[in-house]
Amino acid sequence: SMQTSGNKLCSCPSFKLREVASMYFTMIAVFLVILVVALQGLAPRGSDFPYKVPLDPEGLLELSWNVSYPKQVVNFQLLIRDLKFGLLFGMSDRGEFEDADLAVLWSDGHNSYFADAWSDAKGQLHMDSQQDYQLLGARRAPEGLYLLFRRAFSTCDPKDYLIEDDTVHLIYGILEKPVRSLQAINISAIRRGLQRVQLLKPNITIPEMPSDLKTKEITVLNIVIPSQETTYWCSTTELPEGFPKHHIIMYEPVITPGNEALVHHMEVFQCAATFNNFSHYNGPCDSKMKPDQLNYCRHVLAAWAMGAQAFYYPEEAGLAFGGPGFSRYLRLEIHYHNPLVMEGRHDSSGIRLYYTATLRRHDAGIMELGLVYTPVMAIPPGEDAFVLTGYCTDKCTQMALPPAGIRIFASQLHTHLAGRKVVTVLARDGREQQVVNSDRHYSPHFQEIRMLKEVVAVFPGDELITTCTYNTENRSKATVGGFSIMEEMCVNYVHYYPQTQLELCKSAVDPGYLHRYFNLVNRFNDEEVCMCPQVSVPQQFSSIPWNTFNKDVLQSLYGFAPISMHCNKSSAVRFPGVWEKQPLPIITKKLPEPVPHCPPSPGPQPAAPIPLNLGQLRRD
């Protein structure tokens, strides 16, 4: 490598420093020529990068990647369909361009360069003293320029983003003019945006498929995507009459070619089994023409979000599909994200279900963990990280789970617009055992069902604790729990087997204790919080003067007051037992914070950009 050759030269005292320096730079130049030549030959096959997502709404930038767990690295392949004078690609906490970790390709109009950079709190770019985006190659192809680079999960460089197995906010920027240097790039003046993905996909083995595998495509039929930024499109379909019981064992997205950047996420729901006749519908979900019946189609069968692959059930389980008591009616919901307000785009996207009549050993089930949808759980305004916790108690799992327990294999986290983090932890005898699913960069705009890296076993008497962190800095009124988008939720839909009767295991603060809180606020503050029984809880919350005392007392009330437990069967009926005024589970031993593993450092890389021979870049 060029480092060691340089060092060997310097250890010879007979050379004059100037000669050494000129030899050193000649060697670097030779090395770079060799590098550029070597890069031309690197042409990985598409199958080497199984995950793929468009970064920008036009699909000019297409990111593919793969993950090596043994080496703890992510290999990226970025296709730039229309290279002007370079681009920025990187990661930041929530998709901001300040305090971001970036790989930058830029050109001064003659030469092109690649470097690892970071932006400070003002958005100014700096060369990173530790170059951790490692360039693997660049090649031209008819469709554009491929840039290949790699990055370790964790670099222990304080300027670098730590890649974890949760949501990652990827950012990109397109340079449309030549720039003198990296520092000269003004990131507020470029075309830019963000895309959310889960980079560290679980490395699961794909179960063998049975010979009688059948497929059903649930799609829209050549609709015209409305020319507005956000559309939720609803359409219905039905299974044939007398369709016997099958198991869904995998599903995957079907996306109309050319619309990859517009189809944001999709879900297939099963309707309530009670309809005798059903009105079919195909149109925007918020339209006045939508039949009310569609509001009773809430049982998720399949969900996909941008960047997700096919979803596989573990080989012991399948999702029941058809048969007695199963509704024949299904609803497809597609979220189109069309920020460029393109017109006249036709679409026939949807989800392809793979199912079999050879039933697997267990039916899979879905259970809701977290908080009950109720206004007694509230978040004061102006908070940057207010925490609410929902419990599935030992008493409920003791009563509802089979002696051999259940196995959780996938999870979908859910909040409304103020949610920033969601974590579910399994505890046993008051000691936290393991994380079921955690997203410390959670975004309400990116909710996918994620297969877990390892299946989590839950036994009778275990506790499942779901904690949500909210940001209400831009709100002036309290945010209460509820169904509307400006109210909040804290839910983890866990997918597990064997299916039990337990469909919902959630909690909320005891209403009597909340009433005491309102009394206390009344006694302590000048302004009156009306305590009259006819005033609703949301109205009481909205009349509270939100000083730090009232905020802190509410947070501590939620941390010690008894809870009302919802330990429910599918029919919304609770399991028999006493569920009101239950003590909060006490955790005596928490899990340690994960410590990032630092790779052996590759020696002091010079903080200099790598020149690339990409030919003359052009002005349009």
Residue type, 178: P
At residue 481's C-alpha, the angle toward residues 480 and 482, to 5°, is 115
d(CA 150, CA 557): 47
- Crossing angle of helices 511-524 and 548-560, in 10° steps, is 160
Matching residue, tokens 């997700």: 308
Q: Is 414 a catalytic residue?
A: yes
Could you give the CA distance from residue 129 to residue 223 in angstroms, rounded to a whole number? 51
Gap between the terminal Cα atoms of the chain = 39
588 neighbors 431 (Cβ within 8 angstroms): yes
Measuring CA to CA, how many Å separate 573 from each of 161, 374, 507, 566? Answer: 46, 17, 15, 9
Helix (H, G, I), strand (E, B) or coil at 513: helix
Which residues, including other chains, have CB under 8 Å from residue 249's CB and lie 6 or more apart?
Answer: 207, 209, 210, 213, 312, 313, 318, 319, 354, 355, 356, 360
Instruction: Please indicate whether residue 247 is annotated as part of the active site.
Output: no
Residue in 337, 414, 445, 515 annotated catalytic: 414
Please state whether the peptide bond connecting residue 498 to the residue before it is cis, i.e. omega within 30 degrees of 0: yes
How far is 57 from 230, CA to CA, in rounded Å? 13
By the 10 Å C-beta count (0-12 exposed, 13-18 middle, 19+ buried), 214 is classed as exposed
From the list 232, 281, 296, 513, the catalytic residue is 232
Q: How far apart are CA 36 and CA 310, in angstroms?
A: 37
Residues in the chain: 620
What residues does 376 pair with on adjacent strands?
A: none
Query: How would you list the strands of the sheet with 386-392, edge to edge?
Result: 386-392, 463-470, 419-428, 431-439
- How far is the C-alpha of 231 from the C-alpha of 602, rounded, in Å? 48
Active-site annotation, residues: 232, 414
